[in-house]
Amino acid sequence: MDIAAEKLITGYLTDFRPDDGFLGEEGASSPGSTGIRWVIDPLDGTVNYLYGLPTWAVSIAAERDGERVVGVVEAPMRRETYQAVLGGGAFANGEALRCRPTAPLDQALVSTGFNYVAHVRAHQADVAQRLIPRLRDIRRSGSAAVDLCDVAAGRLDGYYERGLHPWDLAAGDLIAREAGALTGGRPGLPADGDLTVAATPGVFEPLQTALDELGAWHD
C-alpha cells in the first residue's frame, strides 16, 4: 500500500512539476533542477492502517532551496485536511488553526512515539516513564504527522519523538509552526532524527529541557 501510494503521488506531481526533486519514504529520490523538492510520506501510521485504527495520514511537503514552504497532511479517517504555507498560517478544512494557550508543563498533555526496535523502544519507554510525573499525561497515536497537526489544532500541548525521518515531520512541522507552536530538536538545534519536539510556546522550552536531561535524544 505504501509503495503504490507513493508511486501514485510522485507520478501525479511529475506530470505537473517534471523538473522538481523528490524524497519519499518508499525510495523516491531525485535531486531535480528547480530548487523545489517534494518530501512525501505516503502512509504515516502504517500499523494503524493495517489494524483498522483511524490515526494514519498522507503527508506531503514542498521545500524551496532546503526551506519548507508548503505542508499538507490528509487524515482520511478523520475527514481532516491540514495545510500550511510559510508565512500564511495553518488551516484544517479551511478553518484557521491556533495552538492551545500556554499551560505549565505539569498541566501539559504530550504525545510521543516509539521505535519498533526492541532495545530502542525499551529506552524510550524508560524516558516516558520518568517524564510522566512532570506532565498531565502522555498519549501515543502512532502517527507523527497527526501528532504534529494535533499540536497545531490545540488537541495536544506538546509532542516529542526520537528517530523521525524527514518525510515523517516535514509537513507537520510547518503546520505546527504556522499555528503558533515552536518546534526543534535538542536545545538550540532544529528538529531531526535525534529528537523532534513541538509544543505551545510556554511548554516548549521546559519540555525540551526535560527531554534533554532524560536522554530522549539517544538510544
CATH of the domain at 124: 3.40.190.80
- Domain ends where: 96, 114, 129? 96
Q: Which residues of the chain have pLDDT under 70?
A: none
Tell me, yes or no, whether 109 lies in a domain. Answer: yes
**Does 8 lie in the same domain as 73?**
yes
Q: DSSP letter at 78? A: G
**Does 86 lie in the same domain as 67?**
yes
Tell me, yes or no, whether 65 lies in a domain. Answer: yes
**Does 84 lie in the same domain as 9?**
yes
**pLDDT computed for residue 27 by the predictor:** 80
SS3 186: coil
Q: Domain span at residue 155? A: 105-214
Distance CA 11, CA 166 (A): 20
**pLDDT computed for residue 28 by the predictor:** 73
44 CB contacts (<8 Å, ≥6 apart)? 56, 57, 58, 59, 143, 144, 145, 146, 167, 168
**Tens-digit pLDDT profile for residues 128-152:** 999 999 999 999 999 999 999 999 9
Taken in order 197, 198, 204, 210, the sign of the CA dihedral is negative
Distance CA 200, CA 178 (A): 12
Tell me, yes or no, whether 219 lies in a domain. Answer: no
User: What b/e readout covers 91-113, taking b as 16+ CB neighbours within 10 angstroms?
Assistant: bbeeeebebbeebebeebbbbbb
**Does 109 lie in the same domain as 92?**
no
Q: Grid cell 526492541 — which residue?
A: 118
**pLDDT computed for residue 1 by the predictor:** 73
Category of 12 on φ-ψ map: left (φ > 0), alpha (ψ -120 to 50) or beta: alpha
Tell me, yes or no, whether 130 lies in a domain. Answer: yes
**Does 210 lie in the same domain as 116?**
yes
**Does 145 lie in the same domain as 77?**
no
Distance CA 135, CA 109 (A): 7
* Count of C-beta atoms within a 10 Å radius of residue 140: 13
Q: How many domains does the chain have?
A: 2
DSSP states of 101-150: PP--GGG-EEEE---SSHHHHHHHHHHHHHHGGGSSEEE--S-HHHHHHH
User: Nearest 5°: phi and psi at 117?
Assistant: -85, 125
CATH of the domain at 15: 3.30.540.10
**pLDDT computed for residue 197 by the predictor:** 99
Tell me, yes or no, whether 193 lies in a domain. Answer: yes
- Domain ends where: 49, 78, 96? 96
Tell me, yes or no, whether 56 lies in a domain. Answer: yes
Distance CA 82, CA 132 (A): 29
187: which 3 cell numbers? Answer: 536545545
- Domain ends where: 41, 66, 96? 96
SS3 191: coil
**Does 149 lie in the same domain as 82?**
no
**Does 177 lie in the same domain as 134?**
yes
